[in-house]
Amino acid sequence: MSHKVVILAGGRGSRLAEATDVKPKPMVDIGGRPMLWHIMRHFAHYGHKEFIVALGYKGEEIKRYFLDLARMTSDLRVDLKTGRTELLNGNNVEDWKIELVDTGPDTQTGGRIKRIASRVSGGGPFFVTYGDGVSDVNLDKLLALHNQQGRLATVTAVRPPARFGGLRFEGDRVAEFIEKPQIGEGWINGGFFVFRPEVLEYLAGDDTVLEREPLERLAREGQLAAYRHEGFWQCVDTRRDLELLEQLWHASAPWRIWA
Task: List, for residues 31-81, the tens digit of each pLDDT value.
Answer: 999 999 999 999 999 999 999 999 999 999 999 999 888 777 778 888 898
Question: Per the structure, how many domains does the chain have?
Answer: 1
pLDDT of the residue at 248:
95
pLDDT of the residue at 186:
72
pLDDT of the residue at 11:
78
Range of the domain at 209: 5-157+184-249
DSSP 210-225: TTTHHHHHHHHTT-EE
Reference 258, options 100, 73, 88, 49; nearest CA is 49
Mean pLDDT of 190-198: 96
- DSSP-derived 3-state class of residue 65: helix
Specify if 168 maps to a domain. no
238 in Cβ contact with 15 (< 8 Å): yes
DSSP percent split of the chain into helix, strand, coil, nearest 5: 30, 25, 40
| Cβ-proximal residues to 138 (8 Å cutoff; 6+ apart), any chain | 229, 231
Specify if 164 maps to a domain. no
CATH number of the domain to which 243 belongs: 3.90.550.10
Element of type H or E holding 246:
helix 239-249
pLDDT of the residue at 176:
61
pLDDT of the residue at 171:
73
pLDDT of the residue at 109:
96
Q: Which residues pair with 77 in a beta bridge?
A: 86
Q: Taking the model in full, what pTM does it have?
A: 0.87
Mean pLDDT of 160-182: 62
Specify if 175 maps to a domain. no
Specify if 256 maps to a domain. no
pLDDT of the residue at 160:
79
Percent of the chain having pLDDT more than 70?
A: 86
Reference 54, options 106, 17, 125; nearest CA is 106
Specify if 10 maps to a domain. yes
Specify if 126 maps to a domain. yes
184 pLDDT above the threshold of 70? no
The confidence band for 167, taking pLDDT boundaries of 50, 70 and 90, is low
How far is CA 181 from its chain centroid? Answer: 25
216 pLDDT above the threshold of 90? yes
Task: List, for residues 136-154, the tens digit of each pLDDT value.
Answer: 999 999 999 999 999 999 9
Task: List, for residues 92-111, the tens digit of each pLDDT value.
Answer: 678 899 999 999 999 999 99
Specify if 214 maps to a domain. yes
Find the distance separating the first CA and the last CA of the chain, reported in whole Å: 21
3 vs 84, higher pLDDT: 3
Element of type H or E holding 113:
helix 109-115
Reference 89, options 73, 104, 100, 102; nearest CA is 73
Specify if 96 maps to a domain. yes
